[in-house]
């Protein structure tokens, strides 16, 4: 198979995961494995942030923090007490507490459950152009589509509908030639792109194109993309470069989804996939 730029697609399968994960030093501590900060979880959509945070932990991030709404943060800390967080309103976005907390993170995940209200806009204004490695997902992608610009050190994770908004075209146009759409996204945003869907594609500026040959229709359910955002963020925090975090993150997400579907695809939940991530990352 040939990509839009004329290069052969590099197919990635479950067998490729062997040897990917660096061996940990016997004297390692949590600070050695990165600190990912997730921002999102607006009122009524906290589950997206919680799933992303859990995924970041399960792929080995040493520390996971969140900036979110108070109700979401309370639910996160009950569901996953290994996480840390700060409940913030619009007035607190530039507070000293936020500044102290944000400085500790070496990777960001923007967008899971964020929505598009004024609270969300405060965060996106502050972090979308941050220089740290970051995942731009969900409503953060929609904000970027409204003000397109090139982002360095970023991984964008659109599904076909979001990709259509990013390129100002129809979803049908994206799906009719996914390699061409991927190449156009890379060119317009100068970022690593994970074009989700059946046969997820990954590429970045100057890179070859990667085809993820794993995953199944059971994964077509709300919350799976939030897992992927957290996985990639967790890998960025551990020192994987944006392209490697994206391609290995997309692969381990899909393979864990296949593991979880061994007892049936119908009714498969993101929380089922979480159980398999740890094994696939070791």
Entry pTM: 0.97
pLDDT at 204 over 60: yes
Q: What was the pLDDT predicted at 6?
A: 58
CA torsion angle 174 15 64 109 (round to 10):
-10
pLDDT at 91 over 90: no
Report the share of the chain in percent with pLDDT over 70.
98
Q: Which residue has the tokens 């589950």?
A: 47
Q: What was the pLDDT predicted at 89?
A: 85
Report the share of the chain in percent with pLDDT over 90.
92
Domain at 9-19+32-280, CATH homologous superfamily = Ribokinase (3.40.1190.20)
Q: What was the pLDDT predicted at 2?
A: 56
Q: What was the pLDDT predicted at 18?
A: 94
pLDDT at 266 over 70: yes
Helix axes 46-58, 270-280, angle to 10 degrees: 20
Q: What was the pLDDT predicted at 236?
A: 99
Q: What was the pLDDT predicted at 189?
A: 99
- Where along the chain do its domains lie? 9-19+32-280
Calculate the average pLDDT of the chain.
96
Q: What was the pLDDT predicted at 5?
A: 56
Element (H, E) at 193: strand 192-195
pLDDT band at 187 (very low <50, low <70, confident <90, very high): very high
Residue 232 CA to residue 129 CA, distance in Å, equals 18
Angstrom CA distances, 20 to 146, 173, 240, 247, stand at 37, 35, 10, 11
């Amino acid at each position: 198979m040939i990509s839009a730029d004329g290069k052969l697609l590099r197919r990635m399968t479950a067998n490729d995961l062997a040897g990917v994960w660096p061996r940990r030093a016997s004297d390692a501590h949590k600070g050695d494995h990165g600190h990912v900060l997730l921002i999102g979880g607006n009122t009524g959509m906290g589950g997206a942030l919680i799933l992303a945070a859990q995924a970041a932990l399960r792929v080995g991030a040493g520390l996971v923090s969140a900036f979110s709404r108070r109700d979401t943060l309370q639910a996160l800390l009950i569901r996953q007490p290994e996480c840390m967080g700060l409940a913030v309103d619009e007035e607190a976005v530039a507070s000293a507490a936020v500044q102290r907390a944000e400085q500790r993170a070496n990777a960001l995940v923007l967008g899971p459950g964020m929505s598009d209200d004024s609270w969300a806009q405060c965060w996106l204004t502050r972090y979308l152009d941050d220089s740290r490695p970051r995942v731009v997902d969900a409503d953060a992608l929609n904000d970027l589509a409204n003000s397109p610009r090139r982002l360095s050190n970023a991984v964008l994770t659109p599904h076909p509908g979001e990709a259509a908004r990013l390129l100002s075209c129809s979803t049908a146009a994206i799906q009719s030639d996914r390699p061409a759409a991927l190449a156009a996204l890379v060119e317009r945003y100068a970022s690593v792109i994970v074009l989700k869907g059946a046969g997820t594609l990954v590429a970045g500026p100057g890179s070859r194109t990667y085809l993820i040959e794993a995953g199944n229709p059971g994964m077509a359910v709300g919350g799976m993309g939030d897992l992927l955002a957290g996985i990639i963020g967790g890998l960025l925090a551990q020192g994987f470069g944006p392209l490697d975090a994206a391609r290995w993150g997309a692969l381990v997400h899909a393979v864990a989804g296949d593991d979880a579907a061994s007892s049936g695809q119908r009714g498969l939940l993101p929380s089922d996939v979480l159980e398999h991530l740890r094994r696939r990352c070791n």
